[in-house]
Amino acid sequence: MAKRPADESDGKHDALKAGQRPVQKDKGDEAGPFEDEFEDEFESEDEMLEAGVDGRPDEEREVEEKRVLLGSLVTDAMEVDQKTFIPGRDRLAAGESLSPDTSTYVMLHNLTTTWPCLSFDIIRDQLGDNRKAYPATVYAVAGTQADSRKANQNELMVMKLSELSRMDRGKDEEDSDNDEEDDDENADPILETKSIPLPSTTNRIRNHQCPPQNSSNPPTTFTATLLENSDVLIHDVTPHLTSFDTPGTMITPQQSKPLATLKMHRSEGYALDWSPLAPQGKLLTGDNDGKIFLTTGEEGGKWSPDNRPFTGHQSSVEDIQWSPNERTVFASASSDGTVKIWDVRSKSHKPAVSVQISNTDVNVISWSRQTTHLLASGADDGQWAVWDLRQWKASGINGPISEPKAVASFNFHKEQITSIEWHPTDDSIIAVAAGDNTLTLWDLAVELDDEDSRDTAGVQDVPPQLLFLHYMETVKECHWHPQIPGCVMATGDGGFGVFKTISV
C-alpha cells in the first residue's frame, strides 16, 4: 500500500511505497464520465430509430460525448478547449487547469483536514437504507499521517459530514414551490470531528459493528487501526458517534483510550479486515514480513490474538479480505504477485490455494458480496482484473502455484492501483483508484461488440466498460456508501471527496 509524507513546508505529498517515491503528478480538479447526460424519451420506436442512438443525430451525439467524457480544459482566459483530456496520459499546458463538468454529477463535495489520511472507512448509520434525499449525511472514521516532526499530532478522526447538497441545476416549474427545500439543499457542507490521539501514522483503518442487545440502542462500533509502528489499536467509538447528535454529550479521556493494543507484528503493515460474519469481532492483520495474524473478540470485551501467524507469502501482505459467505475463509494479496486463499481452521496455517496473478505487487483486492465467487484485484503496474474463484484449484501446502485466466482485465490506468471496491448492491459495478490521480467507475455488464472499435467517443484505448472518470489528487482509498446508492467517498492529498455521478 502506498504512503505519502505530510511535509507542511510545501504542502505537497508524494506517494510512497516500500521506500519508493513516484513522481508527483500535475494537479487539477475532477473530470466527468463516459456517459451521455441526456435522457430523451420517445413516443414510438420509429421515432427512436430515426433520431439515432439517444434521440439525436450521430454527429451531434459524438461531439457531446467528447465534452462530457472527461471534462474540459479551461485556460486562464476561461476559454474552453473541447478536446478530450485523460489525466495520467495528457498533460496540462501552461495557464491551463482542469474543470469538472458539473452537469455529470448529482453531488460533488470536497472537504479538507489538517493532515492527510491514507485510510478511512464509512460507518453504517441509523438514518435508513437506500437514501435518496438531500442534503445527505455521512459518518466515517479516518487515521492521519502527520508530518514526521509532529508525530504527536496524529489522530483517529471520527467524522460526521452533513449538509451534502446535490448539484444546483437551477429551478424549473416543478421546483417553484420548493424554495425552502432548495435552500437546505444548497447549504455549505459541514465536517464535524471527534479526535482520538494516536502515537503514529495510520496505515489502514476499518470499522466493525456489533448488534445491540437492546433494539433501542445503537450498535457498538469498533475500529481497528494498523499503525506505522506496527501496533494494532482497537477502539470503541460509539460514544464519539453518539455525541454528534446528542447535544451536551461529553467524551471522557477514558473513552478515547484503546480497548486493546496488539503487538504481535514485528514490522509495519497495511492489510486489515474485519469478518462480516462474526458479530463479536474477528480481525485479520498482515505485515511486511508476510505474516498474517488473527485476533478474536470475546465476551467481556477481551481481545485475544493468535500468536501463531499464517505464513506462505514470500513478501509483504498488502491486503486481506474475508469471504462474504464462508465464516472461516479469507483471501490475501501480496507484493510477491500472488493471491492466496486460506481457511482459519487449518492447523498448518498454510494457504489452501495460491495463484500467481501478477508479475508486480498485488496492492488491493475486493470480494464481491453479491456474486461471491468473484474477486477483484489491483496491481502495481496499473492493471486490475476480476477472477472467478471457481476456476482456482487447491494447490496443497507445497503444491504448484496455479495461473488461471482472469474473466476481465483492464490496463487503462498507467500507475499503481491504490484501491478497488465492488458496488455494495450491483455485482457489475466497480470503483478503482490509481496513482495517476484518477478514480474510475466501471460497468462489467457492458460488452464489446466485435464489429465496434475499442474507441469510446472517438478516444482511443478507452474501454466501453468505463463509466466515469473522477480526478482527485493522489487518491489513496475509495469506498461506496452502503446506504446511499451510487455515493462514493475517497481520500486524497487535499482531503476527502464525496460525490455521486449521473452514471451510477
Q: pLDDT, tens digit, for every residue of 346-403?
A: 999 999 999 999 999 999 999 999 999 999 999 999 999 999 999 998 765 555 566 7
> Which residues 6+ apart lie within 8 Å of 298 measured at CB?
280, 304
Q: pLDDT, tens digit, for every residue of 207-228?
A: 999 998 888 889 999 999 999 9
Residue 204 clears pLDDT 60, i.e. is over it: yes
Cα four-point dihedral sign 18, 22, 28, 29 = negative
For cell 477514558, the residue is: 254
Q: Look at residue 450 in the predicted model and tell me its pLDDT.
A: 44
Burial class of residue 398, CB neighbours in 10 A (0-12, 13-18, 19+) = exposed
CA dist., res. 464 & res. 454, Å (int)? 7
Kindly give the pairing relationship between strand 362-367 and strand 374-379. antiparallel
Q: What is the pTM of this model?
A: 0.81
Q: What is the largest CA-CA distance in the chain?
A: 71
Position 333, amino acid = A
Residue 205 clears pLDDT 60, i.e. is over it: yes
Cα four-point dihedral sign 143, 147, 152, 153 = negative
Listed range (117-126, 131-140, 213-222) with the worst mean pLDDT: 213-222
CA separation (Å) from 138 to 241, 312, 414? Answer: 11, 39, 31
For cell 501446502, the residue is: 397
Listed range (175-184, 202-211, 301-310) with the worst mean pLDDT: 175-184
The grid coordinates listed for 392 are 482456482
Q: pLDDT, tens digit, for every residue of 28-72?
A: 444 444 444 444 444 433 433 334 444 555 555 554 444 444 443
Mean pLDDT in residue range 93-121? 90
Mean pLDDT in residue range 449-457? 51
Please, what is the average pLDDT of the chain? 83
